[in-house]
Structure 1
């Protein structure tokens, strides 16, 4: 028989959080003690409920998941934690690990992966994706322009039609830093306008 696991969820997407709770409550040894809509409420709930495990998103208002993670590790080190994020990003996985998370899952995972990770983390193990599987191959056209690793990341996100603000949020950078990187990219590619950058990306098949 599996030992009981008490869990607190934290996600500002109510429908998603309710769906996870419904799924987990079908498992006999799991109890979902509550759902927090942001990182600050999560901290308060953990202090009151003392669960075995917290499952939290990164993008949350008031206090994001990584900052909440850091506070949990400092103040409540016995509580195990899993980041459940929409971002399949090696940089964020590394950040989550450095902030003290015990596991990282992408929201596209299935029920089996989620339950397996909960089992591993609640037993004291860590559960992170293999970085090599998450890394996408570098597009060959990047090599000839001497772009930095960060500039390559930003160019790929531009190609996904993210705004500067969305890129800043995704990479945990200031919008000023993103704008500076974007100017440097334009200079290195010898492009003069956003339309020219769009044509470049289409021509290179990125």
Structure 2
């Protein structure tokens, strides 16, 4: 059991959201809101003076966005745990945040009690994910475990030889849009984000 209450900082660019979140933690004996920031830069400044144990961090903010703030916060305060609290659950947002080593990723419709539990879990060194985010990750994992289809590999072979989208489309008698779709699927299945990385990953897996 902790000797002192969890020191919590809230970071969100909407005043109503900040006030609402602060109200959710009012009166709790084991969690104290020590600061509330409107953007990433303010969060970094307040973190230096308040030394929070846990930060509830929005992602899309002016001046310095959530991912940038998380990166700098972890560098300056490695012991501080960050829970992303956002309305966005797109794959890009999730992967960028998780890549920064956050302790959790929750959506803003998370019930009050679950939010309390998440902060306590993060402070204790655990990790929390909303069911929707967990589903995203599982779907992504399952997708990445699949190999590209024969047609997708045809596209990748041509890309490996230096062909551009137009040349691939002309060679395979398909549209450029279809080429882009095939590449998007290849990237997802191989867990990469660029053509070069896709070629390397395919070679390493013996697909090319």
TM-score tier after normalising by the smaller chain length = 0.5 to 0.7
Determine if the alignment matches structure 1 residue 54 to structure 2 residue 43. Answer: no
How big is each residue's C-alpha offset from its partner over 1:149-173, in whole Å with a ceiling of 9 and x where there is no partner? Answer: xxxxxxxxxxxxxxxxxxxxxxxxx
How big is each residue's C-alpha offset from its partner over 1:93-116, in whole Å with a ceiling of 9 and x where there is no partner? Answer: 221111121111011111122111
SS at match of 1:51: coil
User: Residue 4 and residue 135 in structure 1: after superposition, are their counterparts in 2 closer, same or farther (change >3 A)?
Assistant: closer
Q: For structure 1, which segment, 120-129 or 30-39, has the greater mean C-alpha deviation from structure 2 after superposition?
A: 120-129
Gaps of 5+ in 1: 138-145, 148-185, 190-206
SS at match of 1:48: helix
Q: Measure how far apart 1:25 and its partner are.
A: 1.3
SS at match of 1:59: coil
Distance 1:97 1:91 in 2: 10
Q: For structure 1, which segment, 22-31 or 53-62, has the greater mean C-alpha deviation from structure 2 after superposition?
A: 22-31
Distance 1:50 1:58 in 2: 20
How big is each residue's C-alpha offset from its partner over 1:74-110, in whole Å with a ceiling of 9 and x where there is no partner? Answer: 1110111111011022332221111121111011111
Corresponding residue of 1:23? 24
Corresponding residue of 1:188? 177
User: Following TM superposition, where does structure 1 have runs of at least 4 consecutive aligned residues deviating by more than 4 angstroms?
Assistant: none
Q: State how 1:159-198 maps to structure 2 within 5 Å.
A: 188=177
Q: State how 1:28-39 maps to structure 2 within 5 Å.
A: 28-39=29-40
Distance 1:128 1:76 in 2: 22
How big is each residue's C-alpha offset from its partner over 1:45-80, in whole Å with a ceiling of 9 and x where there is no partner? Answer: 001111111111001110000000000111110111
Count residues with an aligned counterpart.
149
For the aligned residue pairs, the C-alpha RMSD in angstroms reads 3.0
TM-score normalised by the chain length of structure 1: 0.63
TM-score normalised by the chain length of structure 2: 0.63
Q: State how 1:1-206 maps to structure 2 within 5 Å.
A: 3-129=4-130, 131=133, 133-134=135-136, 188=177
SS at match of 1:43: helix
